Amino acid sequence: MVVRVATVAFEGIEARPVDVQVQLSSGNVVFTIVGLADKAVAESRERVRAALTASGLALPAKRITVNLAPADMPKEGSHYDLPIALAVMAAIGALPADALGGFTVLGELALDGSLTPVAGVLPAAVAANARGHGLICPAECGPEAAWASGDMEVIAPRSLIQLANHFKGTQVLSRPQPGVRTAGGILPDLRDIKGQESAKRALEIAAAGGHNLLMNGPPGAGKSMLAQRLPSILPPLSPKELLEVSMVHSVAGALAGGRLTDRRPFRSPHHSASMPALVGGGAGARPGEISLAHHGVLFLDELPEFQPQVLDSLRQPMETGEVAIARANHRIVYPARFQLVAAMNPCRCGHALDPGYSCARGPVQRCSAQYQARLSGPLLDRIDLQIEVPAVSAADVKHRSRCDSRKSMRLAASERSRQRSAKKSRFNGLRLIDERLQKAPRLLFGEKSPFSVSSFSHHAA
């Protein structure tokens, strides 16, 4: 007799169905797992064995074969522990044979039989709901799974014993409620910054239009402070955006307590970040910073200090809104529609814009040109707004800021974003030119224009 339990394998934020098949047969007493499983899955047999023993169940003196179908799909992660354990329990009669038929199962087991949280519960719940299944997951992941659908059955036990008692009717587990993460304090306000009125206005325009922004100025001018205050004037995530962002963070294991928030992501990696850290990849093909900043802000401080090949790897995701990670036997796609905000000094010394400054490296123009040459032209062409942020004078520090309230700026950005979202062309993969651009001033787009406007700049306008 073969017992089957449904679970999933993750390809990006997509949860592919996997069938866990368990068979008990006579022969040598071994516990074998087949089906292109990685090291974490292969080790699950020891966790399953210990968890069942701690729960008062003894494995039979038979050959136990576990097949993870389809066999040609790579299986990674520890979330296969629970479906394997439940299939074994059903095979030895500890659970009703038909109890698991309408559920997708995932979870990691501790040696004492308790369930520990795993990554990817939200996309697994969405996939299970699409198949008409309920979901069984660890208790700490229950609030995350409950977001998939209000009608889907979600069982979130803390241990194998709780789950067995639930199916036997001796203990009833209530459905977990969707969890909302409490805002971690008030976001920084633009009114905290003295002076820099032009830069603040550029920040408002970037927030309203979703434009990429590059700030160039000397150290201490407030570039980082400006960037950190951009999320405070961005509109909240729409329900669709919230689901997409949360699925990426769920796969990355970055949902705190399985609770969602409508705040837009703000990611600020160090300039020593590698290419896999920024765009994704590495062991397990994890999402990178650009995917974790999906529908949010990716802030790159000290932009020229990043490795040039790392920066150039952003060019395709900035154009397509997604990043593809290719492997020998499969291809993983993560969403990556982020708003790039970058800051840089005018030269390596940082003071090329200061009047009368004499650079120890030679002529100021040469020092500045060499430093800025680390940024490729195609990357700069994808940054819509490029502004200079001068040093703040003593008079600006004493002057009271006239910046509008964060609430009014956020409402204005929300209204502009709503109007922009109403245009289907905005979400077209080709980013078709709006009809109004046909009437754009000849100063910019005419045949005798003194400006060299690329197609990227034309679309951004």
pLDDT per position as a tens digit, 219-235: 989 999 999 999 989 98
Q: What percent of the chain has pLDDT over 90?
A: 65
CB 112 within 8 A of CB 51: yes
pLDDT digits (tens, 9 = 90+) for 33-88: 999 999 999 999 999 999 999 999 989 999 999 999 999 998 999 999 999 999 99
Residues 430-457, mean pLDDT to the nearest whole number: 54
Query: Is there a domain that residue 100 lies in?
Result: yes
CATH of the domain at 77: 3.30.230.10
Kindly state whether residues 373 and 266 are assigned to the same domain: yes
Kindly state whether residues 159 and 237 are assigned to the same domain: no
Query: Is there a domain that residue 314 lies in?
Result: yes
Query: Is there a domain that residue 179 lies in?
Result: no
For residue 345, the model assigns a pLDDT of: 92
- 224 is in which domain, residue-wise? 190-422
Using CA atoms in the order 155, 161, 164, 170, what is the torsion angle rounded to 10 degrees? -90
Kindly state whether residues 155 and 213 are assigned to the same domain: no
Q: Which residue has the tokens 């004493």?
A: 398
How would you classify residue 50: left for phi > 0, otherwise alpha for psi between -120 and 50, otherwise beta? alpha
Token pair listed for 13? 């934020």
* The total number of structural domains that make up the chain: 2
Query: Is there a domain that residue 448 lies in?
Result: no
Query: Is there a domain that residue 288 lies in?
Result: yes
Kindly state whether residues 207 and 143 are assigned to the same domain: no
Q: Which amino acid is at 210?
A: G
| pLDDT higher than 50, residue 460 | yes
pLDDT digits (tens, 9 = 90+) for 273-291: 999 999 999 877 899 999 9
Kindly state whether residues 163 and 197 are assigned to the same domain: no
Query: Is there a domain that residue 174 lies in?
Result: no
Kindly state whether residues 11 and 149 are assigned to the same domain: yes
Band (pLDDT 50/70/90 cuts) for residue 109 is very high
Which of 35, 38, 154, 47 is closest to 104 using CA atoms?
A: 154
Return the minimum-mean-pLDDT range out of 78-82, 176-180, 293-297, 440-444: 440-444
Token pair listed for 286? 């994890």
Band (pLDDT 50/70/90 cuts) for residue 312 is very high
CATH of the domain at 326: 3.40.50.300
Angle at CA of residue 278, ends 273 and 280, nearest 5°: 130
Residues 213-223, mean pLDDT to the nearest whole number: 93
CA dist 142 and 175 (Å) reads 8
CA dist 116 and 97 (Å) reads 25
The maximal CA–CA distance of the chain, rounded, in angstroms, is 88
CB 6 within 8 A of CB 54: no
For residue 427, the model assigns a pLDDT of: 43
Alpha-helical regions (H) of 92-158? 121-130, 142-145
CB 127 within 8 A of CB 104: yes
Alpha-helical regions (H) of 118-233? 121-130, 142-145, 160-168, 197-209, 223-228
Q: What percent of the chain has pLDDT over 70?
A: 84
Query: Is there a domain that residue 177 lies in?
Result: no
Band (pLDDT 50/70/90 cuts) for residue 363 is confident
Tell me which of 168, 199, 214 is where a domain ends: 168
Kindly state whether residues 128 and 39 are assigned to the same domain: yes
Kindly state whether residues 51 and 10 are assigned to the same domain: yes
Kindly state whether residues 239 and 112 are assigned to the same domain: no
Residues 368-374, mean pLDDT to the nearest whole number: 89
Query: Is there a domain that residue 309 lies in?
Result: yes
